[in-house]
Amino acid sequence: MTFTLAIVGRPNVGKSTLFNRLVGRKLALVDDQPGVTRDLREGDAKLFDLRFTVIDTAGLEEVTDDSLQGRMRRLTERAVEMADVCLFLIDGRVGVTPTDEVFADILRRKNAHVIVGVNKSEGKAGDAGAIEAWSLGLGDPIRLSAEHGEGMDDLYDILRPIGDSFAERAEADAPLVDLDISEAEAEQEPDPQAFRPTYEKPLQIAVIGRPNAGKSTLINKIVGFDRMLTGPEAGITRDAISVKADWFDTPIRIFDTAGMRKKARISDKLEKMSVSDGLRAVRFAEVVVVLLDVETPFETQDLRIADYAETEGRAVVVAVNKWDLEGEKQEKLAELREMFERLLPQLRGAPLVTVSAKTGRGLDRLHAAILKAHDVWNRRVPTARLNTWLGAMTEAHPPPAPGGRRIKLRYMTQVKTRPPGFVAMCSHPDLMPESYKRYLINGLRDHFDMPGTPIRIILRGQGEKNPFKDPKFHTPSRLRKHKASKDPDVKW
């Protein structure tokens, strides 16, 4: 168990820049304008040989009402209470402001371990601010430059004694995808118990969708408390925030992402960064939940988002939110299923679940659908059964013969899982039309019970490679030498 360090302070003092410095990656969005960060972002920090958890927080403001700034402040105060150590950042070039003095008094009451960091204090411009920081009465201030990495050794000297009392921990974020299957494993009948996910590592889930679909509200209901900043305003979430929780006894790591609008409507640089961060979260996920609004389901942007998740090879679950507002539920459900099958044929058979993030109804069905999608995503088919199925499929519907050249499918085996990937040996693979590949993919879904999951089929030619197609044989002398190597009677 590691200790937790919360970075707090006024807006635009460099909290997110320092957070990125400590985690070693540009996880948090950084911009010159104040108030970029709104939610709490956690990360695994590394400072020399010290490992700990760092929390990036929203800028503290003197607002206590129910406005967006007031809700951001309450979320930051909760991070202060849950953290073991607080690093209170001030701007060394501005000095101590009256707002800093107010927040220093709050931190003194809420957290026993407070470290004062004077950021942007490189050079002589930060001397005055570093001296003023003593007036806060929170101990020796540390001069830092989050952008240039100065003062990290002083921060290490203070955090080292705290880290000695905690066990070190290391964790990999990226999920295992495109797992190779050995030739011996492909010949064996898989044991269902052996390949059933045990969830020793958290199941990684990303929730994506258009703005104001209810993504943050859904995640708050799943984790059991108001972890994400929510409200009636569209576009509150900016960073892709990950949270760990136990959901119906299943350890999960769930990503909240920013709402994705049409690319043509995005003109603000900050919104572009938010959408890019959300797309990156999809690549870190194993299961992607595409959240739709029941009032405007399957908009063009929803289809693009779902298609992106399928293209990335992730298991997809479609959830329709705000179901408690729907009056004619049976008619609406039939309409949703018809639209799903018609508009997203590449995800045919994927789970479609109706939920209410506000009341929590339908979360048990969503949980079951996610586990099933993840199980199908990991499925493996033995080679013997696969080739028996392939023979029946080609007999029922033979491959086409473009230009009078019949395409023969000879052999198929599964080479990857997460998602399932297959290699088929055939003649003239470059002439195989996409329609026949879709015929094979749909057959795999139906026969081997793999609904909704992305399936990849790679066609490969079989037999000796034609040397005359190789550019190195295009000169007459090389052609003569190649023929001579095949005919031992020719003398050179």
pLDDT in tens, 342-362: 999 888 889 999 999 989 999
In a domain, 196, yes or no: yes
- Mark the binding-site residues, compressed into ranges: 9-16, 56-60, 119-122, 209-216, 256-260, 321-324
pLDDT at 274: 64
Average pLDDT over residues 392-407: 86
Please tell me whether residues 334 and 395 are part of one structural domain: no
pLDDT at 233: 63
- Whether residue 167 is predicted with pLDDT greater than 50 in this model: the reply is no
Give yes or no for a contact between 202 and 242, defined as CB atoms under 8 angstroms apart. Answer: no
In a domain, 479, yes or no: no
In a domain, 267, yes or no: yes
Of 14-28, 185-199, 229-243, the range with the lowest mean pLDDT is 185-199
Number of domains in the chain: 3
How far apart CA 31 and CA 11 sit, in angstroms, is: 11
Please tell me whether residues 82 and 221 are part of one structural domain: no
- Whether residue 320 is predicted with pLDDT greater than 90 in this model: the reply is yes
Average pLDDT over residues 217-237: 76
Please tell me whether residues 19 and 162 are part of one structural domain: yes
Please tell me whether residues 228 and 371 are part of one structural domain: yes
- H helices of 298-426, in order, are 300-311, 329-343, 363-377, 383-396
Structure tokens at 246: 């136990």
3-state class (DSSP) for residue 307: helix
> Which has more confidence, 276 or 356?
356
> Which has more confidence, 68 or 17?
17
* Residue 473 binned pLDDT confidence (cut-offs 50, 70, 90): very low
Domain end call among 329, 349, 378: 378
Give yes or no for a contact between 199 and 251, defined as CB atoms under 8 angstroms apart. Answer: yes
Percent of the chain with pLDDT over 70: 76
pLDDT at 331: 92
How far apart CA 257 and CA 284 sit, in angstroms, is: 12
- Whether residue 413 is predicted with pLDDT greater than 80 in this model: the reply is yes
Please tell me whether residues 216 and 330 are part of one structural domain: yes
Distance of CA 149 to the CA centre of its chain: 28
pLDDT tens digit sequence for 99-114 = 888 888 888 877 668 8
Burial of 300 (0-12, 13-18, 19+ CB in 10 A): exposed
DSSP string, 243-260: EEEEETTEEEEEEE----
Most confident of 146-160, 226-240, 272-286: 146-160
3-state class (DSSP) for residue 133: helix
**Those residues with Cβ within 8 angstroms of residue 333's Cβ, 6 or more apart along the chain or in another chain:** 354
* Residue 417's CATH number: 3.30.300.20
Residue-wise burial string across 332-359, b where 16 or more C-beta atoms lie within 10 A, e elsewhere = beeebeeebeeebeebebbbbbbbbbbe
Q: What is the pTM of this model?
A: 0.70
Most confident of 125-134, 154-163, 191-200, 398-407: 154-163
Of 65-79, 139-153, 399-413, 463-477, the range with the lowest mean pLDDT is 463-477
Average pLDDT over residues 374-403: 90
Average pLDDT over residues 298-302: 87
Please tell me whether residues 62 and 160 are part of one structural domain: yes
CA angle 401, 407, 413 (to 5 degrees): 150
Please tell me whether residues 233 and 334 are part of one structural domain: yes
Give yes or no for a contact between 170 and 335, defined as CB atoms under 8 angstroms apart. Answer: no
- Whether residue 459 is predicted with pLDDT greater than 60 in this model: the reply is yes
Q: Could you list the residue range(s) of the whole structural domain that residue 423 is in? A: 383-465
Q: What's 145's DSSP letter?
A: B
In a domain, 473, yes or no: no
Please tell me whether residues 251 and 355 are part of one structural domain: yes
Pairing relation of β-strands 203-209 and 287-293?
parallel
In a domain, 342, yes or no: yes
Please provide the size of the chain in residues: 492
- Mark the binding-site residues for GTP, compressed into ranges: 9-16, 56-60, 119-122, 209-216, 256-260, 321-324
pLDDT at 362: 93
* Residue 491 binned pLDDT confidence (cut-offs 50, 70, 90): very low
- Whether residue 152 is predicted with pLDDT greater than 60 in this model: the reply is yes
Domain end call among 332, 363, 378: 378
Please tell me whether residues 332 and 458 are part of one structural domain: no
In a domain, 480, yes or no: no
* Residue 207 binned pLDDT confidence (cut-offs 50, 70, 90): very high
Please tell me whether residues 349 and 201 are part of one structural domain: yes
In a domain, 204, yes or no: yes
Please tell me whether residues 92 and 239 are part of one structural domain: no
* Residue 252 binned pLDDT confidence (cut-offs 50, 70, 90): very high
pLDDT at 352: 94
Please tell me whether residues 199 and 161 are part of one structural domain: no
pLDDT at 247: 92
CA angle 280, 282, 283 (to 5 degrees): 70
pLDDT at 414: 92
Q: What is the mean pLDDT of the chain?
A: 80
- Whether residue 412 is predicted with pLDDT greater than 70 in this model: the reply is yes
Percent of the chain with pLDDT over 90: 26
pLDDT at 423: 92
DSSP string, 264-303: GG---HHHHHHHHHHHHHHHH-SEEEEEEETTSTT-HHHH
> Which has more confidence, 33 or 348?
348
* Residue 164 binned pLDDT confidence (cut-offs 50, 70, 90): confident
Residue 419 preceded by cis peptide, ω within 30: yes
pLDDT at 420: 92
> Which has more confidence, 60 or 476?
60
Average pLDDT over residues 215-222: 90
* Residue 254's CATH number: 3.40.50.300
- Whether residue 171 is predicted with pLDDT greater than 50 in this model: the reply is no
In a domain, 300, yes or no: yes
- Whether residue 30 is predicted with pLDDT greater than 50 in this model: the reply is yes
How far apart CA 458 and CA 464 sit, in angstroms, is: 19
- Whether residue 229 is predicted with pLDDT greater than 80 in this model: the reply is no
